[in-house]
Copies of this chain bind each other. A is one copy, B any other.
Amino acid sequence: MATDELMRKALEALGDDGPPSVEAIQRLTDLGGVHEPMMINEVADLLDISPHTLRYYERAGLVEVARDGNGHRLYDADAVRRLVFLTRMRLAGMPMRDLQHYITLVEAGKHTVPERLDMLIEHRDTIRRRIRELALSLTAVEYKIATYGGWTGPDVQDLDTAVPREP
């Protein structure tokens, strides 16, 4: 798969305007019902990551995967759902370390829910900060693009930092 199927669906579902809705995200977490266990390549295609990376995640303790009679990996629905979650968190910039810790908590049982919530809240705040940073950079770049288009100053190099005469 050339592009990230989940993300493509996600962006389609969200449309091009307005903030993402909870309804939209719900659709994203629905994998479409009951699944046969999947082979590594199917999962890799679904998540748009390499089989190598999937094995790496397993080695890292992020997910347990059963084997068939030939020793080939069989990803059941739980494993796939967890990997959807994990890849989404990775995409959002959560480090492997944190994911490993989070999974440790999940496997330790319900009593770790508060700590998991703490992690999620911190991650949420990290994402928000990152979005704000990017929004700022975006505005800077857009301004720069606009300036390049209409500028007639003395030295082109100044454009890299110049303050415009008019907004």
Contact indicator B136/A121 (Cβ below 8 Å):
no
CA distance A105 to B72 in the complex (A): 51
A66: interface (CB < 8 Å): no
- Contact indicator B7/A117 (Cβ below 8 Å): no
* Residue A73 is within 8 A (CB to CB) of chain B in the complex: no
Across-interface contacts of A88 in B (CB, < 8 A):
136-137, 140
Beyond A124-B142, A137-B91, A148-B120, whether A85 also contacts B131 by CB under 8 A is: no
Chain copies in the assembly?
2
| Size class of the A contact interface (CB-based, 8 Å) | 35 or more
Interface string of A4-38 (1 = CB under 8 A from B): 00010011001000011111111011100000000
Q: Which residue of B lies closest to A28 (CB)?
A: B140
Contact yes or no, B139 A25, CB < 8 A: yes
A136 to B10, Cβ gap below 8 A?
yes
Query: 10 nearest interchain CB pairs?
Result: A81-B161, A92-B137, A20-B139, A110-B156, A127-B138, A124-B141, A25-B139, A85-B160, A22-B167, A131-B134
